[in-house]
Amino acid sequence: MKMMNNIDEIIKVIQKNNSFLITSHINLDGDGIGSELALYFILKKLNKKSVILNQDKLPRIYNFLPDNNKVYHLENNFSDIKNIDVGIVLDCSNIKRIGKTYEIFKDIRTVINIDHHESNEKYGSLNYVDCSASSVGEIIYNLIKFINIDLLDEDIAACLFTAILTDTGSFRYSNSSSKTFEIASRLTSCGIKSNLIANNVYNRNTFPGLKLLGKALLNLNMNESNHVSWLSITRKMLDDTKAKDEEIEGIIDVATTLNNVEISALFRETKDNKIKVSFRSKGNFDVNKFAGKFNGGGHPNAAGCVCSGKLDEIKENILSELFNDIKHIGYKNKDKYFNNRKDSL
Ligand code: AMP
Ligand code: MN
Ligand code: MN
């Protein structure tokens, strides 16, 4: 077992040091960015210097978050990252997920890993992993509670609410616990408007983005039993519609909304000639374990992997593995997945 630290040890290291570099995973999402900014605000209130640096650019849908112009990415030609005492990695199950910022993080002596993935590899000098948390946002809230809850303000609440909202699929996934709702409630009492946050995240589609969704749905497939759905997005579809890669986010969730479908997969060609696969499950099928077969990971109901090769071959290979796996499980109690993960599949 690799070292797991308690929250006190993490806070001590934060209090003892002065200069922090914060990062999250490639294909930055709401949990990563919301948690980064909330931590940045807290460190500022503690009179610490901190910089947020990610491999990828901030997705447009998060440009409403306070101080989002303080979120740098590698192409920003950014030089203010000397003399870093502590690196903080958020929402990454393994260190490779931070992408090219690893070149900077590998030289930082103390790295704190804060995450909620079951498959976390405890790669930090300090590791705080809580798999019962819906999101890293929920963990950062608990961290603030331990430091001093009076530090919580409207800006921090907006960032944490965004992290929780997006990682729970707007409170629809099984990771939404009573703790999650309690924290969300406390955050809304800080003055934030949850409907405005939801509008910013979900109701600002672009015309090319919606056209891409249309094209993707034209090649939506289901298996004979209607329990699995899948679709693909090629570079040509992105070029034809002029949609951005970040606008693919959310398309897999549409495929998952199909009645009776328990598992969905989205295959897409990335800019760097790889095939990125996203998996979603509404029921008891553990897509984290399944993605693990292809060196990927994630959560039981949402996971992904990256493969090298041709889209069609990878799709065929992964789908035949998937059909083989579910053949052994059978579909008992399939109608009950709305009630409890354990009753499903
Ligand atoms: P995505 O399909 O990219 O939205 O990812 C769904 C979940 O799986 C998120 O929790 C990701 O952090 C995780 N995930 C996606 N791709 C990978 C990967 N290649 N390795 C490990 N975890 C991944
Ligand atoms: Mn994430
Ligand atoms: Mn997360």
Q: Cα(342) to centroid of ligand 2, in Å? A: 24
User: pLDDT value at position 260?
Assistant: 87
Whether the full predicted model's pTM is greater than 0.75, yes or no, is yes
132: CB partners within 8 A, 6+ apart: 116, 177, 179
Q: Cα(38) to centroid of ligand 1, in Å? A: 22
pLDDT tens-digit series, residues 320-337: 999 998 886 655 544 443
Any idea what DSSP says for residue 58?
P
- Pocket perturbation via mutation, ligand 1, pick of 24, 29, 56, 264 by most ligand atoms within 8 A of CB: 29
CA distances for 88 relative to 19, 24, 128, 187, 271, angstroms: 11, 8, 11, 23, 27
Q: Cα(239) to centroid of ligand 2, in Å? A: 26
296 lines ligand 1 (CB under 6 A): yes
175 lines ligand 1 (CB under 6 A): no
**Mean pLDDT score across all residues of the chain:** 93
- Whose alpha carbon is nearest atom 16 of ligand 1? 304
229 lines ligand 1 (CB under 6 A): no
Collect the ranges in the chain with pLDDT lower than 70: 1, 78-79, 328-345
CA distance 98 to 89: 8
Q: Cα(136) to centroid of ligand 3, in Å? A: 5
pLDDT tens-digit series, residues 174-229: 899 999 999 999 999 999 999 999 999 999 999 999 999 999 999 999 998 889 99
Q: Cα(136) to centroid of ligand 2, in Å? A: 8
Strand (E) positions, the chain? 19-23, 49-54, 71-73, 86-90, 110-115, 126-129, 221-222, 228-233, 263-269, 275-281, 297-299, 302-307
Q: Cα(105) to centroid of ligand 2, in Å? A: 19
By the CB criterion, residues less than 5 angstroms from ion ligand 3 are 31, 91, 135, 167
Q: Cα(303) to centroid of ligand 1, in Å? A: 5
- Pocket perturbation via mutation, ligand 1, pick of 61, 93, 167, 308 by most ligand atoms within 8 A of CB: 93
User: pLDDT value at position 326?
Assistant: 86
- Whose alpha carbon is nearest atom 20 of ligand 1? 296
Q: Which residues pair with 23 in a beta bridge?
A: 89
CA distances for 331 relative to 274, 299, 303, 327, 341, angstroms: 33, 21, 21, 9, 13
CA distance 148 to 241: 48
Any idea what DSSP says for residue 57?
P
- Pocket perturbation via mutation, ligand 1, pick of 289, 305, 306, 308 by most ligand atoms within 8 A of CB: 305
User: pLDDT value at position 58?
Assistant: 97
